[in-house]
Every structure is written in structure tokens, then in C-alpha cells.
Amino acid sequence: LDVSEKVHAYPSEKCGVLNVTKITEHGKKVRKNWASTWTVLQGSSLLFAKGQGSGTSWFGGNQSKPEFMVDLRGGSVEWASKEKSSKKHVIELKTRVGTELLIQSEIDTVINDWFRALSETINTHAWE
């Protein structure tokens, strides 16, 4: 299944608008580019669709497709250190293939829920 097929094949467990930037790709540092991003957790996949204003639904619509997907299996999450970002409430997500993302929300309850959901997903799918 490609990313867009996957979105329609399985219900999402969690979705929302978060600030997201990649910081490392395949082990190489990349320039930060924070963007408000529709983020969807589905099974062990985390999907991102950029450029969606908050409140805009893209489910069922075909005006935008997920742009990026990471496999959470074998990954890790932790709260980012001050060196990684000056922002508050930043999650650092590392994937098995060496992609690192920072995920942030100004709303602490929102980011705490995501931290829990991502941790649980990683633990649940650890041995697949």
C-alpha cells in the first residue's frame, strides 16, 4: 500500500495539527523547517500532510494527500533537550532508518497525549 491508500484503508487512532520539522534524514543532519502539519497515527505508521490549516479535514477529500510517513517500529521518542530546540513541549522522534523529527505543540495536554500515544505505539509494535 502506498501512503494515500493506507490512509483510506485503516481508521486513524489519533490525528491533529502539530508543528513538525525533520532534523535528520538517513543519519544526515538537515535544515529545520518547522511547519504546521496534519499528523495522523495509524497502526505503527505516522503520517504527515503539510499545509493544512487547523480545522481543515482532509479525510474523504482528495484535495491533499499525506506527504510523508514514518514507520514507528523500532523507533524511539523522548522529550527533546534544550539544545535541540528553544521551543517548549518538543518531542524528539527517532526512527529505525535514521530519520529524526521534532514534534511540538504549544498546548501541553495535546503534546502529552501525543507523547503517550507514540510511546505506546512503539512499545506495542516493538517486536514486529
Interface residues with ligand I3S (CB under 6 A)? 32, 34, 85-87
* CB nearer ligand I3S, residue 102 or residue 122: 102
- State in angstroms the smallest separation of the CB of 43 from ligand I3S: 29
Angle, alpha carbons 41-4-90 (nearest 5°): 35
- State in angstroms the smallest separation of the CB of 81 from ligand I3S: 11
* CB nearer ligand I3S, residue 32 or residue 96: 32
Q: In sequence order, what are the beta bridge partners of 76?
A: 94
Q: Which residues contact 47 (CB under 8 A, 6 or more apart)?
A: 3, 6, 7, 39, 40, 41, 66, 68, 69
> Using CA atoms, how far apart are residues 41 and 18, in angstroms rounded to an integer?
12
* CB nearer ligand I3S, residue 90 or residue 122: 90
- State in angstroms the smallest separation of the CB of 19 from ligand I3S: 9
* CB nearer ligand I3S, residue 4 or residue 36: 36
Q: In sequence order, what are the beta bridge partners of 100?
A: 24, 94
Q: Which residue bears the cell 535528520?
A: 24
- State in angstroms the smallest separation of the CB of 9 from ligand I3S: 34
Nearest CA among 94, 91, 96 for reference residue 115: 91
